[in-house]
Amino acid sequence: MFKAALGAAVVVILAMLAKTKNYYIAGLVPLFPTFALIAHYIVGKGRSAEDLKTTIVFGMWSIIPYFVYLVTLYVMVDRMRLEASLAVATVAWLMTATVLVSVWVRLHG
């Protein structure tokens, strides 16, 4: 129940920000490290400091798929409907994330 309420609160905050003169800040809110905090706490409590550091480094690399998503969306939003642009950008994220995980496993697995 708490997770659902938290998610709903974030959606409300995003909707409110989107209506202000500083609407672009709505792009920052989803990047608040909510899940990263949870993941780092769980890994940090249950595994070694070295494992936590590996998780942190992988998190740094995980910025790449998000960047690809943003670039793709930026380019596509002028070329197709918003829903299609979002779908294409999401597929670009999925493809980039798959490559990232595959390369990571080969190098660190």
Tell me the pLDDT tens digit for each residue of 82-98: 999 999 999 999 999 99
**pTM given for the model:** 0.84
Residue 21 and residue 61 in one domain: no
Residue 11 and residue 53 in one domain: no
Q: Are 55 and 49 in contact (CB under 8 A)?
A: no
Would you state the pLDDT for residue 1?
82
Confidence of residue 31 (pLDDT cuts 50, 70, 90): confident
Instruction: Give the gyration radius of the chain's Cα atoms.
Output: 17
Would you state the pLDDT for residue 109?
76
Region 37-59: what's the mean pLDDT?
96
Residue 19 and residue 42 in one domain: no
Which range marks the domain in which residue 104 is found?
35-108
Residue 48 and residue 66 in one domain: yes
Confidence of residue 41 (pLDDT cuts 50, 70, 90): very high
Could you read off the pLDDT of 3-14 as tens digits, one per residue? 788 889 889 999
Residue 17 and residue 53 in one domain: no
Calpha distance 55→39 (Å, rounded) = 9
Q: Are 57 and 49 in contact (CB under 8 A)?
A: no
Domain count, the chain: 2
Residue 14 and residue 53 in one domain: no
Residue 69 and residue 26 in one domain: no
Residue 27 and residue 69 in one domain: no
Calpha distance 107→109 (Å, rounded) = 6
Residue 25 and residue 41 in one domain: no
